A and B are shown apart, each in its own frame.
Chain A
Amino acid sequence: MRLFGSLALAATLALVGAPAHAQDAHGAVPAAPAAQPSVTDTSSAATASAAAAAVGTAEQRGEAQTTVAEVAAQGHAATPAQAVDIITPHITDAPHFEYPCLSGDYAILTCEGHLPTGWIVPVGSYQLDLSPTKHVLMMLLASALACLVLIGAARAHKRHSHAAGHPKGFAAGIEALVLYIRDEVALKNLGHHGEKYVPFILTLFFFILFANLLGLIPYGSTATGNISVTAALAVLTFVVVEIAGMRAQGAGYLNTIFYWNKDLPIFMRVPMFLIMTPIEIVGKIAKPFALAIRLFANMTAGHIVVLALIGLIFLFRGPASTAPFLAASAIMVLELFVAFLQAFIFALLSSVFIGQIREAHH
């Protein structure tokens, strides 16, 4: 427990220093401008320096470090003067990433790798910042993992199929997962001749799944806990849904936007058209909006809970910290389930939306 305490993100000590502000998990709200220069910098530096503070050496590395060491020291003294938000930097994006490294007297600590900045692409008058961030890195990692696992499974499948007629072990499990998503989630909801959309649904599922899972491992970060990422995926799903509608219904697609019910008498049809058309449009937009918010909120909320519980471990100290430790472990297991569940739900709802618009008859 003690070892875990010194090795894990010791920056949570900052929470100890600010029990009054502990509930303010939104945004980086440091009380002192001195702690402002780089929020994420302070957090990771705090990893090193707060651990140092724990043994009272207060190793000096830079300005930010000093600041956090001070904060940590003040936390020790239980003076709620300064608050450093350690949760937000862990769930938000950053232009750098963390990785394990050996440093000083302590076995494993966090080092920072800086990603290139300033990749600005002017789009018209807008300056599009394409600098890769931590979440971009995590998405690339998730994609690489997905490729590794799925292509590996496909290869193993081929190899085993030749030898035994059916795959074995891990490849069989992945095959079962792929087949389940294909048959039970995608094909069942996409409607007739929905095979074209199956790769999209499968890719959605595995991309989100691996991105979710990467947030659960140390030094990882949840790209799907970023509203931009989920919004992009939702917008993509929206486009795919609408294109599926156009392809399946042709001119009848317009009926999914404009409510023109021929069963109604004309004096009812016009007012119904005027009332229902905005509702139809709102309904169209609400679906991807819900997709984006659902994934983002689920991933973010879970991580906030886990980080808060880890913070409680340091707040309680001593034997009492067993309780938040157990709670954090339990929530972590729940998060593992949620990682699968949210990927499943995103894929399921996407296929339901595609199936709906392909079958729609107004």
Chain B
Amino acid sequence: MRTLLRPLSRPLSLVLLSAAARPALAQEAEHGAASGGGGLLDPHAGLMVWTLLIFAVLLFILTKFAFKPLTAAVEAREKALEDAIAGAQRDREEAARLLAEQRAQLEGSRGEAQKLIADARGAAEKMRADLLEQTRQQQAELLDRARRDIDAERERAVADLRREAVDLALAGASKVIERNLDDASNRRLVEQFLTTIPANGARR
């Protein structure tokens, strides 16, 4: 420890010496201050009072006329910016909402249209089927009636023809055998003959 301190002792003593000499130097400086100048380390109460006074006034003036307006302006600007950002956010959300709404609406109307078209198509199909059915029925009905008419007409015509034929045959035969034949027995014979002929065949 001692050997360690030895090389240090000289600078150390110098430092201590200068520290001890300091008050003397300060005193000297004060001496100089008394004669007009000012020492480096001597306090000056008047100057401290002046410093505090000037600082207080400066604090008041700057706070009132510089920092408050400046801060207020900056805060107003920040607020305006924030408002603008919030507004943009709101607008964007609104737009997104509207877009979704529109899209949903579009989707809805598309479905509706689809449904309408399908309905219309179904209705048309049904109507067509109905109409077809109706027409077919009418046609069948008409056909039926025509067939019935034709049958009735034919029957009447056959009956008429038959009566006419009987009449003609009777007239002819009566003319032929008027003289020799018993009218009644001959007639029966012919009638018998006629019944053996089928209606169709007779027509041919």
Contact of A332 with B by CB under 8 A:
no
**Do A236 and B40 form a contact, CB below 8 Å, given A147-B58, A207-B58?**
no
Contact of B45 with A by CB under 8 A:
yes
Contact of B49 with A by CB under 8 A:
yes
A residues touching B (Cβ–Cβ < 8 Å)? 26-29, 36-41, 88-89, 91-95, 119, 126, 128-133, 135-136, 139-140, 143, 146-147, 150-151, 153-155, 157-158, 161, 165-166, 175, 178-179, 182, 198-200, 202-203, 206-207, 223, 226-229, 231-233, 235-236, 300
Of residues A95, A143, A232, which shows the largest number of chain B Cβ atoms within 10 Å of its Cβ? A232
Question: Is the beta-carbon distance between B47 and A93 smaller than 8 angstroms?
Answer: yes
Question: Is the beta-carbon distance between B77 and A165 smaller than 8 angstroms?
Answer: yes
Question: Is the beta-carbon distance between B70 and A88 smaller than 8 angstroms?
Answer: no
- How long is the Cα–Cα vector from A187 to B23 in the complex, in angstroms? 42
- Cβ contact of B73, chosen from A119, A129, A136, A157, cutoff 8 A: A157
A78: min CB distance to chain B, Å: 26
- How long is the Cα–Cα vector from A154 to B62 in the complex, in angstroms? 10
B31: min CB distance to chain A, Å: 8
**Do A147 and B62 form a contact, CB below 8 Å, given A229-B47, A231-B43?**
yes
User: Which residue of the partner chain B has the closest CB to A147?
Assistant: B61
Question: Is the beta-carbon distance between B73 and A130 smaller than 8 angstroms?
Answer: no
- Which of B72-105 touch A at CB < 8 Å? 73-74, 76-77, 80
- How long is the Cα–Cα vector from A41 to B48 in the complex, in angstroms? 24
- How long is the Cα–Cα vector from A235 to B49 in the complex, in angstroms? 11
Residues in B neighbouring A130, C-beta threshold 8 A:
46, 49-50
Question: Interface majority SS on B: helix, strand, loop or mixed?
Answer: helix
Question: Is the beta-carbon distance between B50 and A95 smaller than 8 angstroms?
Answer: no
20 A–B pairs (Cβ distance < 8 Å), ordered by A: A27-B28, A28-B37, A36-B35, A92-B37, A93-B38, A130-B46, A130-B50, A131-B46, A136-B47, A139-B50, A143-B58, A150-B62, A150-B66, A154-B70, A158-B73, A178-B70, A200-B59, A203-B59, A227-B42, A232-B55
Question: Is the beta-carbon distance between A233 and B55 smaller than 8 angstroms?
Answer: yes
Residues in A neighbouring B48, C-beta threshold 8 A:
228-229, 231-232, 235
A253: min CB distance to chain B, Å: 23
Residues in A neighbouring B169, C-beta threshold 8 A:
none
- How long is the Cα–Cα vector from A280 to B136 in the complex, in angstroms? 117
Residues in A neighbouring B52, C-beta threshold 8 A:
232, 236
Question: Is the beta-carbon distance between A135 and B55 smaller than 8 angstroms?
Answer: no
Question: Is the beta-carbon distance between A151 and B63 smaller than 8 angstroms?
Answer: no
Contact of B2 with A by CB under 8 A:
no
- Cβ contact of B29, chosen from A27, A133, A226, A232, cutoff 8 A: A27
**Do A135 and B32 form a contact, CB below 8 Å, given A92-B37, A143-B54, A232-B52?**
no
User: Which residue of the partner chain A has the closest CB to B62?
Assistant: A203
- How long is the Cα–Cα vector from A239 to B177 in the complex, in angstroms? 173
**Do A92 and B40 form a contact, CB below 8 Å, given A132-B50, A133-B47, A202-B62?**
yes
- How long is the Cα–Cα vector from A139 to B44 in the complex, in angstroms? 15
User: Which residue of the partner chain B has the closest CB to A143?
Assistant: B58
Residues in A neighbouring B38, C-beta threshold 8 A:
92-94, 133
- How long is the Cα–Cα vector from A200 to B37 in the complex, in angstroms? 33
- How long is the Cα–Cα vector from A231 to B151 in the complex, in angstroms? 143
Contact of B7 with A by CB under 8 A:
no
- Cβ contact of A157, chosen from B35, B40, B59, B70, cutoff 8 A: B70
User: Which residue of the partner chain A has the closest CB to B61?
Assistant: A147
Residues in B neighbouring A38, C-beta threshold 8 A:
35-37
